Chain A
Amino acid sequence: MVLTAPRLATEDLSYGYPGHVVGRHISFSIDAGEVLCVLGRNGEGKSTLFRTILGLLPACAGAVRVDGGLTTGWSARRRALTLGYVPQTGGGGFPFTVAELVLMGRTAHRGPFSAPSIADRRAADQAIATMGISHLAQREWVRVSGGERQLALVARALAQEPRILVLDEPTASLDFGNQVRVLDAIRSVAETCGLTVLLSTHHPEQAFACADRVAVLAGGELLQIGPPAQVITSETLRTCYAVEVAVLPVADDRYRVCVPQSYLS
C-alpha cells in the first residue's frame, strides 16, 4: 500500500516565544488543494502558529512536515519556494509601485545577484491580474487603500508560486466587496492550482464560503478540527468566543450564517 503524505502537517507542535509557550500539542494535516480556516479569539496565537509553520519562529517543540519531509533546517529560499506568506500588515514604508512589490514575490526564484527575468515579470503580471488589481500596478504602494494593499500582498504571494499559501487574516482590513473577492480568489487558486491554503479569520461564516475544514484554537490547544458544518456550531462558538451565536442555514443549506443571539431577541 502506498501512503501519500499530506501536503502540510504539524506534529505535536508547541509554539511561542522564549520563556512563553502560546500553544501546545497542535497536530493537524492539510492535503494538496485543501483550504483550512483557523478560528480563535484575539491573542490565541493564530499569527504565532502561522509564523512557526513558516519557519519565521523556531518551534518550541514538535515538528512541521511538508510532503512528509521535516522543514527543520530549511533555507529561507527553500521555504519561500514552498510556502507563500500574506502577513496581516506588510509591504514596508517605501513608495514602491504595486508592480514592483508584487515582483518581489519572485525573489526566491532567482539567485542573489540576478535581476528579474521576463518570466518573473510575466508571473507577477499574471498574479496582479488574478487579483483584479491591474489598474493599480503603476500606483505607489503607500498611496493605495488598505484593502488594495492586502490584494497586492496576496498577489505577491501568488507570484511566489508556492505549494502552500499562508494568509494571516487576509480580510481583516477589507471592505465587503474586497472580502468576497479575496475569498473567491483563494477558493479558485486552491481549486485550479491545487494550492494548499491555510488562513485565519475572525468571521466564522467565512469558513462556509471558502474552507474545506475549520480548526478552532482555544486555551492554547486545538479544540476541534473538521468540515465547517460540523465544527461551526453554537457550542463551539460559545467555547471559542464566549458569546451565544445561532448558526442558521440559508439557501437550502448551501451556506450558513452566524447571528449573535442578542441580535435576535
Chain B
Amino acid sequence: MLLLATALSLGPYPLAPGDLLAFLMAKATGAASPLSGPAEAVILQIRVPRILAATAVGAALAASGAGYQSLFRNPLVSPDILGVSAGAAFGAVVGIFLSLPVLAIEVASFAGGLAAVIIVYTIATAIRGRDTVLVLVLAGVVIGALFGAGVGLLKYLADPYNQLPAITFWLLGSLAAANLRDLTSLLPAVAIGLVLLALLRWRIDVMTLGDEEATALGVNTRSLRIVVIAAATLMTSAAVAVSGIIGWVGLVVPHLARLLIGPAFTRLLPVSVLFGAGYLLAVDTVARTLGSVELPLGVLTAALGTPLFLWLLAFSRRPAWS
C-alpha cells in the first residue's frame, strides 16, 4: 500500500503526500477534487493505469513462474521456458515491422505468445514414449530459438531510423505506454490465470513429485499440465503484450518466495504474487524517476535481480531444492 502511494506521488509531476491523500479522500467521498486539472489528469490518465499495469504484470510473471517451477520440477525455470516470450516478441516485431497501430501490435504479441506455446505443446504430445516434461522443455527451447531467429531477421530488415529503435525499445520492456485500454485486456487475463492456479494449488504440489508418482496418487497429470500451462501462458502473453519482454521477475521472485516460505503452492502463490507485484512496481517507479530519460524496465529488473538472486543463493540456509 505504501509502495502504491509512493508510486502515485512520484514522477515528473511530483505530488505532495498530503495533496495525494486529500485527492483520494475527495474521490472516495465524492467531493470536489482539491487538485488542479493537470494534476488530476496526471494521476488518473497516466499514473494510475501505469501503476496498475506494473502490479498486474509483476503478479502475472511471478505467478506463472511459480506454477512452471512446480510443474517442471525445477526451481530455475522462468515463464518463458515454453517459448511464450519469444513468440510474443516475434508477434510484436512483426506488428512493428508492418507499421501496424499500437493495438494491433499488442494483439499480434499476445497471439504470438499463445501460438508459440501451442506449437511447443503439440510437438511434445506428438513425440510419445519419452519423458513428457523433458520433451516439452526441449521443444520450448528449440521453438523459442526459431522465433528468436525470426526476430533477428526482422530487426535486420527493419527500417533503422524508425522501426529498429521501436523494436529494441519493445524488446527491453517498458510500461511507459500503458493506458486504461491495456488494463481492460490485461486485468481479466491475469485474474483468470491467477484463479485457475489458486484453485489447483494442492494438485500443483503433487506435480512436483514427477508424473509417475503424481499419477499413482490419483492426479490426471495430462489435463492438469494443460490447465497450468494455459493459465500461465494466458497471463504471460497478456503481460508481455502490454509491457514487452521483462525478464527475471518470473524466475527470481518465485524462487525467493520459496526460500522464504517453502514450496507449498498454497503459500507460494500468494507470496509470489505480492512480491512480483511489489517488485515490478518498485522497479518501474525507479525506472521513470531515476534519470531524465526513462530507463528500460527489462534492463533494471535484470540489474537488480541478478545480485539479489546471487545473494540469496549464497546466503540462504533453507534449500530451495535438492
Chain A interface residues (CB < 8 Å from chain B): 17-18, 51, 54-56, 75-77, 79-81, 83-85, 87, 90-97, 100, 104-105, 107-108, 110, 112-116, 140, 142-143, 156, 160
Contact present for B206 and A100 (CB under 8 Å): no
What's the Cα separation between A110 and B321 when bound, in Å?
A: 28
Contact present for B262 and A97 (CB under 8 Å): yes
Given A56-B212, A92-B208, also A105-B217 (CB < 8 A) = yes
Shortest B198–chain A CB gap in Å is 9
Contact present for A95 and B321 (CB under 8 Å): yes
Query: CB < 8 Å: which of B200, B203, B213, B215 contacts A92?
Result: B213
How many residue pairs between the two chains, A and B, have CB atoms under 8 Å in the bound complex? Answer: 103
Contact present for A107 and B203 (CB under 8 Å): yes
Given A87-B213, A95-B263, also A104-B205 (CB < 8 A) = yes
By beta carbon, the residue of chain A nearest B321 is A93
By beta carbon, the residue of chain A nearest B73 is A92
By beta carbon, the residue of chain B nearest A97 is B262
Shortest A107–chain B CB gap in Å is 5
Given A94-B321, A104-B206, A142-B322, also A54-B262 (CB < 8 A) = no
Contact present for B205 and A56 (CB under 8 Å): no
Shortest A27–chain B CB gap in Å is 24
What's the Cα separation between A92 and B263 when bound, in Å?
A: 11
What's the Cα separation between A93 and B209 when bound, in Å?
A: 8
Given A18-B129, A80-B216, A87-B212, also A94-B206 (CB < 8 A) = no
What's the Cα separation between A104 and B319 when bound, in Å?
A: 21
What's the Cα separation between A177 and B208 when bound, in Å?
A: 30
- Greatest chain B CB density within 10 A among A75, A83, A107, A142 is at A107
Task: Report the interface size for chain B: residues with CB under 8 A from the other chain.
Answer: 33
Write out, one digit per residue, whether chain B residues 54-81 have a CB within 8 A of any chain A CB (1) or not (0): 0000000000000000100101000000
What's the Cα separation between A43 and B245 when bound, in Å?
A: 49
Contact present for B70 and A94 (CB under 8 Å): yes
Shortest B218–chain A CB gap in Å is 3
- Interface residues in B175-225 by Cβ distance below 8 A to A read 199-200, 202-203, 205-206, 208-210, 212-213, 215-221, 224
Query: CB < 8 Å: which of B215, B219, B318, B321 contacts A56?
Result: B215
Given A75-B220, A95-B319, also A100-B264 (CB < 8 A) = yes
A-chain residues with CB within 8 Å of residue B205 when the two chains form the complex = 96, 100, 104
B9 at the interface (CB under 8 A from A): no
What's the Cα separation between A116 and B203 when bound, in Å?
A: 11
B-chain residues with CB within 8 Å of residue A104 when the two chains form the complex = 205-206, 209, 217
- Greatest chain A CB density within 10 A among B209, B218, B219, B224 is at B218
Write out, one digit per residue, whether chain B residues 68-98 have a CB within 8 A of any chain A CB (1) or not (0): 0010010100000000000000000000000
Contact present for A93 and B206 (CB under 8 Å): no
A-chain residues with CB within 8 Å of residue B129 when the two chains form the complex = 17-18
What's the Cα separation between A55 and B202 when bound, in Å?
A: 23
Shortest A72–chain B CB gap in Å is 15
Contact present for B322 and A95 (CB under 8 Å): yes
Contact present for A94 and B200 (CB under 8 Å): no
Given A87-B212, A104-B209, A114-B202, also A93-B217 (CB < 8 A) = no
Contact present for A77 and B220 (CB under 8 Å): yes
What's the Cα separation between A100 and B75 when bound, in Å?
A: 18
